[in-house]
């Protein structure tokens, strides 16, 4: 039994190609239904995000190879003109499992350790379950992948630290102030960058966010969206600077919005209580001389990039730990796959003994009372369970190589005189 | 036997500090798991050792330098444990426990040189004097050590050096709170030390020598500490400048105690049983 994965991702194909080949949830459901009903796949799953589209397939026919699946997907998307098989990668068996484990752990992502991918893998599995294209193999593969991702999240620091400018701004503010809910925040500019920073602050319990913007209606709209409903007129916000512990600026302007004299005055009014100014504008919105003021932390985009670089470096240093978790789980998964090969023999063994039990009990059915027969049945069940325990345990026990499985299976089949098994050979 | 135990206690301090260091600097998982149990074991072992040491004198502490240094190490460790449990901040242990370890090693060395713990003191006043003196120095040490950490983190943030301290230390506001609490407790215990000492001496009929350098130093420290409680409001000092003052006081007092430990076998001379000069 093989598992094949084929796909395109941010490493193998540019965005135009990824767009052409991506599948929405509805399309993925249709695609999975088609591939199962046509017998191409016994099991199948589609993982389609902005950075990747991947198929995980347990082939239903011998001719279904990686190349076959690439061509099938390209033709399904009617993308022969733009997409070529060279844009794809394909993996088989344990490498497929390793790949999905790496994807779920976010070490194959564009931004190392990003937190969204696990949810996307879970969605892909949910869709496969909904269209009944996830069988025993994909179910086990996905559940192991979720377990790997959980272990990676708890045992390593691969997902720690901010890796975007707006998150880095929040991380920095939290290194100065202990409780953002107690701090007063001024957002100068209601554009996309400012909005993102304000939302991240809000996620960290900051509630006292006041917004000012040249176009007041934009500020009001953002304040309403955040639920703070606090807006200051752009013309007069400088009169209130001393009230704020955190000031975020993100406006397009050639001139500085905050200058040295007004901030100096504000610091005096604050009796030197620390202030952090996060200048997210480009060109910069705040006079750099302000950083010389006592207890003033002025940080621009370049400063915040230092935090991002440090966090990415830290995440990269965690990669060996992640790989070790994946290796560990891969061994377990491989051993489970091997148990699939012995499963028919276990079933045959159990059936044979049950048959013997039934035959023997049948001989006594009319010679003893119903109560006695039930007692004999319970006794036989206990004896069978004990007799079968060791052979089943031996069959299921881990093996170093797949080569030893047939010898084990043959041994058990010969000893217990089980009928010739064709399935074993078919499955390998 | 006691000599062996005192070095064993020092060894426990070294191990615990090393575990906190390995967790802080290397993020070692084993160190992270075992540092807190190691701290508890160290504190229990140390308290047991102090019990064994003072058992012959009815569990009353003497004024020997090694007893005082050992008590300083223990109270620092206990105060740190309290901070760790109450603030859930376990990343400053290496810095506080390093100082604790230094004090305990010094105590063990002094014990090996002169194991006699001197005369013990009875009476509630003297007991309070001794305990509050130990706790006040521990509070001063905590305030000084956290002030150093505050300044280091402040400088890291200001200069965009987002390194190990930035990553591991609690934020500036938490450090400021810890400093404030340490100063408040330090002032309270210093006040108790002076009051209990005066009452104890008066009770024993002993004349207090107002020119005693120890008494003068203690009163100066008490005044500076008291002033530092209000300095922010009165003179508009910020935490950064407060931190410099607290570090200065900490270094001064540590040097004073160190010199006294090295050049005098006891912190007080005894003229007769129960009285302190």
Reported as a single tens digit per residue, the pLDDT across A292-327 is 999 999 999 999 999 999 999 999 999 999 999 999
Across residues B24-51, what is the average pLDDT? 92
Least confident stretch, A1-5, A159-163, B83-87, B206-210: B206-210
The verdict on a CB contact (< 8 Å) between B171 and A178 is yes
Interface residue B157 vs chain A (CB under 8 A): yes
Which residues in chain B touch residue A314, judged by CB atoms under 8 angstroms apart?
A: 167
Q: Is residue A94 a known part of a binding site?
A: no
User: Looking at chain A from residue 312 to 331, which residues have their Cβ under 8 Å from any Cβ of chain B?
Assistant: 314
Comparing CA positions, the residue from B100, B133, B90, B78 lying closest to residue B13 is: B100
> Which two structure tokens, joined as six digits, stand for A113?
């350790």
Could you tell me where the DSSP H helices lie in B55-123?
65-87, 93-113
User: pLDDT per residue over A178-214, tens digit each?
Assistant: 889 999 999 999 988 888 889 999 989 999 999 999 9
Banded model confidence at residue A29, pLDDT cuts 50, 70, 90: very high
Does this model's pTM top 0.95? no
Q: Rounded CA gap, A118 and A122, in Å?
A: 6
Q: Is residue A215 a known part of a binding site?
A: no
- pLDDT score of A36 more than 50: yes
pLDDT at A408: 80
Interface residue A303 vs chain B (CB under 8 A): yes
The full set of domain ranges for chain B reads: 1-118, 121-270+273-277
Which residues in chain B touch residue A176, judged by CB atoms under 8 angstroms apart?
A: 157, 171-173
Phi, psi (rounded to 5 degrees) for A419:
-65, 160
Mutant choice from A167, A274, A305 vs B, greatest count of B C-beta within 10 A: A274
The verdict on a CB contact (< 8 Å) between A177 and B173 is yes
Banded model confidence at residue B131, pLDDT cuts 50, 70, 90: confident
CATH 1.10.3470 correct for B1-118: no
| Distance in Å, alpha carbon of B236 to nearest chain A alpha carbon | 7
Residue by residue, DSSP assigns A333-364 as HHHHHHHHHHHHHHHHHHHHHHHHHHHHHHHH
> CB of A413 within 8 A of CB of A421?
yes
The verdict on a CB contact (< 8 Å) between A272 and B171 is no
Report the Cα–Cα distance between both ends of chain A, in Å, rounded.
6
- pLDDT score of B153 more than 90: yes
Half-sphere exposure of B149 (CA within 13 A, CB side): 28
The verdict on a CB contact (< 8 Å) between A157 and B27 is yes
Looking at every residue in chain B, the average pLDDT score rounds to 83
| Sign of the Cα pseudo-torsion (A82, A85, A91, A92, in order) | positive
pLDDT at B249: 87
pLDDT at B264: 59
Interface residue B25 vs chain A (CB under 8 A): no
The verdict on a CB contact (< 8 Å) between A295 and B157 is no
Match domain A4-158 to its CATH number in 3.40.50.920, 3.40.50.1100, 3.30.460.30, 3.40.50.2000.
3.30.460.30
Of B162, B172, B238, the CB nearest to A294: B238
Q: Is residue A142 a known part of a binding site?
A: no
What is the third-level CATH fold of A165-309?
A: Rossmann fold (3.40.50)
The verdict on a CB contact (< 8 Å) between B172 and A176 is yes
Which residues in chain B touch residue A271, judged by CB atoms under 8 angstroms apart?
A: 236
Residue in chain B closest to A173 (alpha carbons) equals B171
pLDDT at B9: 93
Q: Rounded CA gap, A150 and A169, in Å?
A: 27
Least confident stretch, A382-396, B69-83, B198-212, B259-273: B259-273
User: pLDDT per residue over B190-241, tens digit each?
Assistant: 899 888 888 877 777 667 677 777 777 788 888 888 887 777 777 777 888 8
User: Looking at chain B from residue 231 to 270, which residues have their Cβ under 8 Å from any Cβ of chain A?
Assistant: 236, 238, 240
- High-pLDDT (> 90) share of chain A, %: 65
| Distance in Å, alpha carbon of A419 to nearest chain B alpha carbon | 53
Banded model confidence at residue A1, pLDDT cuts 50, 70, 90: low
Q: Which residues of A are catalytic?
A: 50
Of A178, A271, A297, the CB nearest to B173: A178
- pLDDT score of A122 more than 90: yes
> CB of A56 within 8 A of CB of A153?
no
| Distance in Å, alpha carbon of B172 to nearest chain A alpha carbon | 5
Strand residues in A161-295 grouped as ranges (E) = 184-188, 208-213, 231-233, 246-249, 275-279
Helix (H) or strand (E) segment spanning residue A90: strand A89-92
Residue by residue, DSSP assigns A171-195 as HHHHHH-S-GGGSEEEEE--SHHHH
Strand residues in A123-257 grouped as ranges (E) = 184-188, 208-213, 231-233, 246-249
Report the Cα–Cα distance between both ends of chain B, in Å, rounded.
32
Q: Rounded CA gap, A17 and A9, in Å?
A: 9
């Amino acid at each position: 039994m093989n598992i094949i994965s084929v796909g395109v991702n941010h490493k193998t194909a540019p965005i135009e190609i990824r767009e052409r080949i991506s599948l929405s949830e509805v399309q993925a459901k249709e695609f999975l239904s088609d591939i199962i009903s046509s017998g191409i796949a016994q099991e199948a799953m589609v993982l389609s995000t902005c950075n990747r589209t991947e198929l995980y397939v347990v082939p239903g026919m011998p001719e279904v190879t990686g190349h076959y699946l690439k061509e099938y997907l390209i033709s399904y998307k009617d993308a022969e003109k733009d997409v070529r098989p060279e844009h794809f990668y394909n993996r088989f068996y344990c490498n497929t499992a390793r790949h999905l484990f790496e994807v779920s752990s976010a070490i194959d992502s564009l931004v190392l350790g990003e937190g969204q991918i696990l949810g996307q893998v879970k969605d892909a599995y949910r869709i496969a379950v909904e269209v009944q294209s996830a069988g025993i193999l994909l179910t086990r593969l996905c559940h192991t992948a979720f377990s790997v991702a959980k272990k990676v999240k708890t045992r390593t620091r691969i997902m720690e630290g901010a890796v975007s400018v707006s998150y880095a701004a929040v991380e920095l503010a939290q290194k100065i102030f202990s409780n953002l809910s107690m701090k007063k925040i001024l957002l100068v500019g209601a554009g996309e960058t400012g909005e993102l920073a304000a939302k991240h602050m809000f996620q960290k319990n900051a509630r006292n966010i006041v917004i000012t913007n040249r176009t007041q209606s934009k500020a009001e709209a953002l304040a309403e969206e955040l639920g703070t409903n606090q807006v200051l007129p752009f013309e007069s916000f400088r009169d209130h600077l001393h009230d704020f512990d955190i000031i975020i600026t993100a406006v397009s302007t050639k001139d500085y919005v905050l200058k040295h004299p007004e901030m100096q005055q504000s610091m005096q009014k604050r009796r030197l209580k620390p202030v952090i100014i996060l200048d997210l504008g480009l060109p910069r919105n705040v006079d750099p001389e302000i950083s010389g003021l006592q207890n003033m932390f002025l940080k621009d985009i370049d400063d915040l990039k230092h935090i991002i670089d440090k966090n990415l470096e830290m995440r990269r240093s965690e990669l060996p730990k992640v790989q070790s978790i994946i290796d560990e789980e891969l061994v377990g998964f491989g051993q489970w796959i091997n148990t699939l090969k012995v499963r028919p023999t276990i079933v045959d063994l159990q059936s044979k003994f049950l048959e013997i039990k039934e035959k023997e009990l049948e001989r006594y059915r009319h010679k003893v009372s119903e109560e006695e027969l039930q007692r004999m049945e319970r006794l036989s069940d206990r004896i069978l369970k004990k007799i079968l325990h060791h052979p089943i345990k031996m069959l299921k026990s881990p093996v170093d190589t797949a080569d030893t499985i047939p010898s084990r299976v043959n041994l058990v089949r010969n000893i217990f005189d089980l009928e010739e098994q064709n399935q074993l050979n078919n499955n390998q | 036997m006691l000599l062996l135990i005192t070095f064993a206690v020092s060894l426990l301090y070294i191990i615990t500090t090393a575990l906190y260091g390995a967790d802080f600097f290397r993020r070692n998982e084993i160190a992270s798991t075992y540092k807190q149990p190691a701290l508890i074991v160290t504190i229990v072992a140390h308290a047991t050792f102090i019990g064994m040491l003072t058992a012959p004198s009815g569990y009353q502490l003497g004024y020997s330098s090694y007893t005082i240094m050992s008590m300083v190490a223990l109270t620092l460790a206990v105060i740190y444990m309290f901070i760790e449990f109450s603030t859930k901040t376990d990343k400053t242990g290496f810095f506080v426990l390093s100082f604790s370890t230094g004090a305990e090693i010094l105590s063990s060395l002094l014990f090996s040189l002169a194991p006699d713990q001197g005369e013990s003191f009875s009476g509630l006043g003297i007991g309070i004097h001794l305990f509050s003196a130990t706790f006040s120095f521990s509070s001063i040490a905590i305030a000084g050590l956290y002030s150093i950490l505050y300044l280091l983190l402040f400088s890291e943030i200001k200069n965009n050096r987002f390194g190990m301290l930035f990553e591991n230390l609690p934020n500036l506001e938490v450090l400021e709170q810890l400093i404030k609490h340490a100063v408040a407790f330090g002032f309270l215990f210093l006040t108790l030390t002076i009051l209990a000492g005066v009452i104890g001496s008066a009770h024993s009929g002993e004349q207090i020598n107002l020119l005693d350098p120890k008494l003068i130093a203690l009163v100066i420290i008490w005044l500076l500490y008291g002033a530092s409680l209000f300095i922010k409001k009165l003179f508009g000092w910020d935490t950064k400048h407060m931190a410099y003052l607290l570090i200065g006081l900490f270094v001064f007092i540590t040097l004073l105690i160190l010199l006294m430990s090295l050049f005098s076998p006891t912190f007080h001379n005894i003229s007769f049983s129960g009285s302190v000069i």
